[in-house]
Structure 1
Amino acid sequence: MARASFSSLIIFLILHLTITTVAGDPDDVALLRNRHHGSGPAMILPLYLSAAPNSSTSALDPRRQLSGSESKRHPNARMRLHDDLLLNGYYTTRLWIGTPPQMFALIVDTGSTVTYVPCSSCEHCGRHQDPKFQPDLSSTYQPVKCTIDCNCDNDKMQCMYDRQYAEMSTSSGVLGEDVISFGNQSELAPQRAVFGCENIETGDLYSQHADGIMGLGSGDLSIMDQLAEKNVISDSFSLCYGGMDVGGGAMVLGGISPPSDMVFAQSDPDRSPYYNVDLKEIHVAGMRLPLNSKVFDGKHGTVLDSGTTYAYLPEAAFLAFKDAIVKELQSLKQINGPDPNYNDICFSGAEIDVSQLSKSFPVVDMVFGNGQKYSLAPENYLFRHSKVRGAYCLGIFQNGKDPTTLLGGIVVRNTLVMYDREHTKIGFWKTNCGELWERLHISDAPPPMDEINSTEAVEPSVAPSASQHNIPSGEIQIAQITIVISFNISYVDMKPQITELAGLIAHELDVNTSQVHLLNFTSLGNHSLSKWGITPSTQAAYISNSTVMSIIARLAEHRVQLPGTFGSYKLIDWNVEPPSKRNWWKEYYLVVALAVLITLLVGLSILGTFLIWKKRQQSMHPYKPVDATVPEQELQPL
């Protein structure tokens, strides 16, 4: 997507769908998405918006306070995030629609409300990651008929939707209702929900690799509003984006217990139809920027949008932020950005290891109206320079002449963000998103099958048949999967990034970082060869069937993708290792080692006793070789 100034951009959004008759209920109006690999342009929100609903008067508003009977513990849907913020410009999750389930990779987007996928009848849809949705193959699909207030296709008497985004991409189609499943990590059973079945898509929506959009915004068609209105989940969801160069992460539909040190900011649903926070101050290296707090309250206020890559500040705030950062980085050299078409602010001479960036770059604090402070690590406002190693660029830009403050995904990398819509607040908690379940002390094992009312809750395998990989059918026990990858980077350059690389591989194979281990690393001049082992999670004795088949599919279909910072690479080989084919001592190496030690000690003791006895015997009866010439002197005992 080309980057441009938006100060002169005028967009009129025509929204054709109104599901409820409540006056002024906002429909889906999305922020502009930046999916460029480099830095981002000034961002702007759509210039035309309907008024936000009054949550205190709308009986249909799912953000209402739950009564005592409704406040019981709800199940939630725990789902993994895929892709990478800067490489792809978005994060996706897997959603299954229909019976039997059809899988889709959907961009998680808090700035949109409609969830939609390409339909088999689509007249103008791009080539995406998965096949189009086929309503005829789903026994539970039903079209949404024009018995409600909606834009109606008079020929088919079916409700339609039409969405236009600020970057000029569009999506339109019909509305359908079907069973939606959330994968086998979720407690939440499959639910019926309304979604869009695309017939036409243009712009970035046409060219993107992902299949469609998962709308998490506030509106009647939002998947969150539909689930909360049914009272099957609490009115809350959480997103956790991976860190710099790592990608992936996790999401939760429904509530979770917030960590004790989570930082909260108030979010006013009447202030804007978008999720917002009451940002009051920004500090750089402990020093407050000389700004009036009202600078962060212009137009739509401070908006948090998961579908936007970078962050954008009003002009005055950006200039103050840039000057403060430059002042703190006098020991680094300011250089040109990776793309000559943009005036990116970049610095060279910093550490390559992300964990060491705080030695060169200052902490940036965001202070909210309640006085609580959310601290940004360097990875929350920087992106890697794609052409200079050890160089980084500011991922926060000026928002043209638009007074809105827009906080995109970069600001919340390695941060659990809780959108608590029930209590109108948003929480932030710094963590490693690749290990979120462990850090929250939540098991990622599937729920017991007797707690699930439908078999569709079990995530369908995305892998080819087991026979294609010489894997036995039925329940299998895999103790380890090994992969061999070659890189065109030397061992010296690669060594400092081993931990980072393990996280990337874990993300690509959809496992926890703790399950990926470096087994061998060989230097081949300017190239290197690495062998990795994927082992069971800490709670399991073996890798589960679904995980094994998913990993096999990703490897066999060459879906493992690593950032360009690691140069070119090639998957050389992979192998699954059942327990029967594994060296038995690897399973119980501590027990084996102890047994060997005891055996050795006992053996040495017996051998010593034997030698002493032998020595004594030979001293009494000197040994004489048979048929040998006996020398005059007596042979010395052995």
Structure 2
Amino acid sequence: MASSSPSLFVGFFIIIGINLIVTAGSLKNFKFDQQPLIIPLHLSSPNSTVHRHADDRRRHLLQAQLSRKPNARMRLYDDLLSNGYYTTRLNIGTPPQQFALIVDTGSTVTYVPCSTCQHCGRHQDPRFQTEMSNTYQALKCNPDCNCDNDRKDCIYERRYAEMSSSSGVLGVDVISFGNESELVPQRAVFGCENLETGDLYTQRADGIMGLGRGRLSVVDQLVEKGVISDSFSLCYGGMDVGGGAMVLGGITPPPDMVFSHSDPFRSPYYNIELKELRVAGKPLKVSPRIFDGGHGTVLDSGTTYAYLPGHAFAAFKDALIKETHVLKRIRGPDPNYDDMCFSGAGRDVSELSKTFPQVDMVFGNGQKLTLSPENYLFRHMKVSGAYCLGIFQNSDSTTLLGGIVVRNTLVTYDRGNDKVGFWKTNCSELWRRLQLPSVPAPPPSISSSNDSSIGMPPRLAPDGLPLNVLPGAFQIGVITFDMSFSLNNSHMKPNFTELSEFIAHELQVDDIEVHLLNFSSKGHDYLVRWGIFPDESDNYISNTTALNIILRLREHHMQFPERFGSHQLVKWNIEPQIKQTWWQRHLVAVVVGIVVTLLLGLSILGLWSVWKRRQEASKTYQPVGAVVPEQELQPLQS
């Protein structure tokens, strides 16, 4: 296994809290107990058609109701090469406390470090403070959970394949999904860590967001509440890009999405029916049954790379070597691992298909998913233009497909219909391509008897901003701030467009409000000035929005993927709204009035001239051919 980027087996866990987990089979039984749709069998009769149509109408009505359910749209951060995982931001508590959580389809429990944790590492965000949340409740011991020694609280324990572990207590609180989601905040059960070991202790991410099958899964809890349909989707960014998107709830699948059956009884993990692998159009000479060993072919978003059973891996490696004979084999970036690497392909990812073959995954239904080189290669960090194979031999008979296989691929886990869909796309443009509506979620409507006031304590007011701001007395026109970046990779330059999107998300403003003002560079170091401007429909930034932005700046709340290197806030500044004179406020109206007057005068003059010419030369006048209407401006192709 390569170590050039951290490879996590977060999804493959050993269940200790047995009573808290529902396997695939029992999950089905659990659903059937909740008023299943039962269609009686009977002999054909004049009324049977009526019954059948009625049942069809009920099913269509149910599907229509599901399609109208809201979903949670959430951005993904980080990347496989630097981190080995992707994270999303989840808010927990009232007021919200934000956490960076690894999205993991192989885990069920969602957990974050607790403020009382006795052995937790230094992570991206502060630990969860239960005493600071007005809505937190500990989950008390009951017959449906494992309890602590005092029989007081419910507990959880998880151990993972790479020998890391997490344990703590279970609690209930409000979770919210960011300002791009239409799903309102919901109460959910999650884990508050008291102990973590191994990679979980050393990783930068705060914890895990469990998307697997089980009663404690975030997906299962939201589905059981009836607030989302039984589906979710993940879309991982491509090589050198990272990031991506996640949707909790159903979406309309694209017409060319390919599907594979996913058997919930086969294993507790999300599996697909992989029957064949083709390299450059040629099938590997292995039995289709080789992909059905162990847990079958498993999709695990918490694992970095892909792992094939022994015979399948040997056949795949031989086929790849045969197709890349023009490239030079070199050593991997880590001498402790025998990585299979190639040089001479060039640094342009879009050109890799000229030197590396296409790989096809053929499913049981005959549909296939085509993998580009970025779906099975990772960049060699020590040799420019070199790449290493991100598929390895598994120690057991399970075929494990990690995040690398689905880069720039929308993966829809349609649990309600027992299938998984795949659609090749640019994940950084997913929202635009799917044309999903963007509706900010309203704040949680939760009252607290302890604190009925809403606002910011005066001691938290940023320097230079009046504590008691009256409407119209001090209107902020722009917020500027300088940030320094020191890149780790000398071959990379910061993507300012992508960086502005991260800043908008971290400061909880719209992308169009963040502007790059200027920057300077020296070697690998950049000094960048950003500006937060009011929305186009506003003349100034509201006081509430400004306070939130400045607090997040001053508290160094912004976090970016590691490919942007280390960063630091240098300074920030607020500028009041510029008072406009009467002429400035009404300049547009005046100009429009003048232009309209001139056009009207010219039109009258033109009509008079035409009439005059017609009168003077009516016998020689020839009408001009009909004018071709101006073509509608077509959108640019992506």
Give the TM-score taking structure 2 as reference length. 0.73
State whether structure 2 residue 391 is matched by structure 1 residue 405: no
**Bigger Cα displacement from structure 2, 481-490 vs 371-380:** 481-490
Deviations 1:534-577 (CA, angstroms, capped at 9, x unpaired): 8899999999986995698469738555656x888887777778
Residues 140/516 of structure 1: CA separation in 2 closer, same or farther (3 Å cut)? closer
1:386 aligns with 2:381: yes
Shift of 1:312: 0.7
- Greater displacement, 407-416 / 161-170: 161-170
- How far residue 134 of structure 1 moved from its aligned partner, in angstroms, is 2.5
**Using the alignment, how far apart are the partners of 1:420 and 1:65 within structure 2?**
19
Correspondence 1:259-278 to 2 at 5 A:
259-278=254-273
- Structure 2 match to 1:357: 352
Determine if the alignment matches structure 1 residue 124 to structure 2 residue 124. Answer: no
Q: Are 1:177 and 2:149 an aligned pair?
A: no
C-alpha separation in 2, matches of 1:404 and 1:133: 36
Residue number in structure 1 paired with 2:80: 85
1:523 deviation in Å?
Answer: 7.6
* Amino acid paired to 2:168: G
Q: Distance in 1 between matches of 2:538 and 2:75?
A: 19
Name 1:149's counterpart in structure 2. 144
Partner of 1:15: 16
Q: Secondary structure at the match of 1:18?
A: helix
Structure 1 residue 128: Cα displacement = 2.1
Q: What is the identity, as a one-letter code, of the residue corresponding to 1:375?
A: T
1:114 aligns to what? 109
The whole-number CA distance in structure 1 between the counterparts of 2:397 and 2:539 is: 55
| Partner Cα separation in structure 1 for residue 551 and residue 26 of structure 2 | 50
Corresponding position of 2:294: 299
Secondary structure of the 1:503 match is helix
Secondary structure of the equivalent of 2:291?
Answer: helix
Q: 1:198 to 1:531 in 2, by over 3 A?
A: closer
Aligned equivalents of 1:63, 1:394: Cα separation in 2: 49
Which residue of 2 is the match for residue 53 of structure 1? 25
Question: 1:113 deviation in Å?
Answer: 0.6
- The residue identity in structure 2 corresponding to 1:347 is F
1:422 is aligned to: 416
SS of the aligned residue for 2:247 comes to strand
Amino acid at match of 1:444: S
Superposition deviation, residue 408 in structure 1: 0.4
Mapped partners of 1:251, 1:12: distance in 2: 23
1:530/1:19 CA distance change after superposition, 3 Å: closer
Q: 1:275/1:490 Cα in 2 relative to 1: closer, same or farther (>3 Å)?
A: closer
Q: Aligned pair in 2 of structure 1 residues 144, 482: CA closer, same or farther (>3 Å)? A: closer
Q: Indicate if the aligned counterparts of 2:77 and 2:561 stay in contact, CA closer than 8 A.
A: no
Between Structure 1 and Structure 2, how many residues are aligned?
552
1:450-480 per-position Cα deviation (integer Å, ceiling 9, x unaligned): xx75699xxx99xx96735869979977779
> Which amino acid in 2 is paired with 1:143?
A
Q: Could you tell me which amino acid in structure 2 is paired with residue 99 of structure 1?
A: T
Quickly say closer, same or farther: Cα 1:335–1:237, change in 2 above 3 A: same
Q: What SS does structure 1 have at the residue aligned with 2:184?
A: coil
| 1:530 shift after superposition | 7.1
Aligned-CA RMSD value? 4.6
Tell me which moved more, 470-479 or 199-208: 470-479
Q: Please, which moves more after superposition, 81-90 or 438-447?
A: 438-447
TM-score, length-scaled by structure 1: 0.73
2:626 aligned residue = none
Equivalent position of 2:306 in the other structure: 311
Letter in 2 for 1:244: M
Q: Show the counterpart of 2:371.
A: 376
Partner of 1:245 in structure 2?
240
Shift in alpha-carbon separation, 1:182–1:520, aligned structure 2, 3 A? closer
1:70/1:231 contact within 8 Å kept: no
Structure 2 CA distance for aligned equivalents of residues 141 and 427 of structure 1 = 37
Change (3 A) 1:581 1:384: farther
Does 1:163 find its partner at 2:158? yes
Change (3 A) 1:556 1:314: same
Query: Which one is further off, 536-545 or 280-289?
Result: 536-545
* Alpha-carbon distance change, 12 to 346 in structure 1, aligned in 2, over 3 angstroms: closer
Secondary structure at the counterpart of residue 183 of structure 2: coil
Residue 166 of structure 2 aligns to a residue whose secondary structure is: strand
Give the secondary structure class of the aligned counterpart of 1:88. coil
Single out whichever of 502-511 and 528-537 deviates more from structure 2.
Answer: 528-537
| Residue 187 (structure 2) pairs with residue 211 (structure 1) | no
8 A contact 1:63–1:235 mirrored in 2: no
Match of 2:434 in 1: 440
1:213-265 CA deviation, whole Å, 9 max, x = no partner?
11110011111111111111101111111211222211111111111111211
Report the CA distance between 1:348 and its aligned residue.
1.3
Alpha-carbon separation, structure 2, partners of 1:517 and 1:284: 45
| Deviation string, structure 1 residues 23-73 (Cα, Å, up to 9, x no partner) | xx43xxxxxxxxxxxxxxxxxxxxxxxxx4255544468998897465404
Contact 2:484 2:525 in 1 (8 A): no
Does residue 138 (structure 1) correspond to residue 133 (structure 2)? The answer is: yes
One-letter amino acid of the structure 2 residue matched with residue 423 of structure 1: N
C-alpha distance in structure 2 between counterparts of 1:224 and 1:182, whole Å: 13
In 2, Cα distance between equivalents of 1:529 and 1:147: 56
Post-superposition shift, 1:436? 1.7
Distance 2:35 2:219 in 1: 10
From 161, 176, 183, give the equivalent of 1:188. Answer: 183
Contact 2:2 2:337 in 1 (8 A): no
What do residues 431-466 of structure 1 show as CA deviations (whole Å, max 9, x unaligned)?
2222221121124341577xx75699xxx99xx967
- Alpha-carbon deviation of 1:150? 2.3
Matches within 5 A, 1:556-571: 557=556, 559=558, 561=560
Residues 158 and 575 (structure 1), Cα distance of their counterparts in 2 relative to 1, 3 Å cut: same
Does the C-alpha gap of structure 1 residues 99 and 518 become closer, same or farther in structure 2, counting only changes over 3 Å?
closer
